Chain A
Amino acid sequence: MTINPPWILWFFSILLMVASIVAIVIALIFFPGPEAEEDRVQAVRPRAVERKVPPEPVDEELLAARRPAYLRGIYVFVGLAVLTAIEFGIALAFEGSAVAFLFVVALAKAGVILQYYMHAGRLWGEEEVH
């Protein structure tokens, strides 16, 4: 009996995907997390009403402070886009001989994402000001 490679690959891929979806749904049902727990404790309104009414008063000062944070996100995105364009251009210009340079650019991009998008500094207790 011969096993068809494409069929078996598709089978395991779909099996993995279904398993991950089931695992997420189970985790969502049985381990809803601290936010959900807090909601259950403090729930005094039905969900339908909760959707229409904001769960807490809007902090105008906090809302006003969001502009610099949004701007930083834009700067980071532009920086990453420029680095991607550079690596693409270099790869086309020096095909096969720019491995080290491409690796350095990839490291730089990863560093930017780790610092500004993934907030690696928070691991050491550096909470950012809202």
Chain B
Amino acid sequence: MSSESLTTYKEHTATNRLGFWLFFVSEAFMFGGLLASRFYLWGNTRPELDQALGLIVTSVLLLSSFFMNRAETAIEHGDRKTFLNCLLITAALGALFLVGVVGFEWQGHVKPWDGVHGAILFGMTGLHALHVLSGVIIILIVWYNGRNGHYSAERHWGVEATAIYWHYVDVIWVFYYPALYLMGTVVG
């Protein structure tokens, strides 16, 4: 690849990066709105949720972020095998998180129509789960592209964008987890 082509690519990537972060700012208003609603409607209370399950899904998401970072680091250093393996592990952990939230937490005693507690709990976890689902799909697409020889140590904006998106989903959960599971006293 010529140095001129690489320079152009880096300039494009810098622009893409800025646009992507602006997208995150707009997303932050949406997630922040829900977080503010939680404090307005719940105050210093929270519904009784399975603490063990909350800690497990949080740990799973944290671990997935670690593997996503490892995948990105691997492609930055031309380590294609580690890159592909870590992407698959990240997608699997993301799917596991979804199973924990949708398959177990949503089947608990709190339902979406149970007043403010149900509405906020399902609104926050539902919107977040939708982002996790789209993240898993994007990771699988990047894995497929990587397997077909796309991306290199110099050119991997697709991987970087996917990694940033995945970590952003993790950052959201960093605030949602204590707000839903840890803050306030249990009612009902």
Chain A residues with CB under 8 Å of chain B are 5-6, 9, 13, 16-17, 20-21, 24, 28, 33-36, 38-39, 47, 50-51, 54-56, 58-59, 62-63, 65-66, 69-70, 73-74, 76-77, 80-81, 84, 87-88, 91-92, 95-96, 98-99, 102-103, 105-106, 109-110, 113-114, 116-119, 122-123, 125, 130
Contacts and interface: CB of A to CB of B under 8 A. Distances in A.
Nearest to A91: B182
Contacts, number: 153
B152 A36 contact: no
Contact of A6 (B44, B76, B113): B113
A36 B155 contact: no
A55 B167 CA distance: 28
Contacts of B18: 123
Contact of B65 (A47, A74, A113): A113
B164 interface: yes
Contacts of B76: 66, 69, 130
15 contacts: A17-B133, A20-B134, A28-B141, A34-B9, A35-B155, A36-B150, A39-B149, A39-B150, A58-B78, A77-B65, A96-B44, A103-B178, A117-B167, A122-B17, A130-B153
- The main secondary structure of chain B at its interface with chain A is helix
Interface of B: 9, 12, 14, 17-18, 21, 44, 51, 55, 58-59, 62-63, 65-66, 68-70, 73-74, 76-80, 111-113, 122, 126, 130, 133-134, 137-138, 141, 145, 147-153, 155-158, 160, 163-164, 167-168, 170-171, 174-175, 178, 181-186
Contacts of A50: 148-149
Given A34-B155, A84-B58, A113 B171 contact: yes
B12 to A, nearest CB: 6
B108 to A, nearest CB: 14
- The main secondary structure of chain A at its interface with chain B is helix
**Residue of B62, B138, B175, B182 with most chain A CB atoms under a 10 A cut-off:** B182
Contacts of B149: 39, 47, 50-51, 55
Contact of A117 (B112, B147, B163, B183): B163
Contacts of A58: 78
Given A20-B134, A21-B137, A84-B58, A110 B74 contact: no
A116 B65 CA distance: 11
A113 B163 CA distance: 11
B114 to A, nearest CB: 11
Contacts of A17: 130, 133
A10 to B, nearest CB: 10
A123 to B, nearest CB: 6
Nearest to B141: A28
Contacts of B51: 92
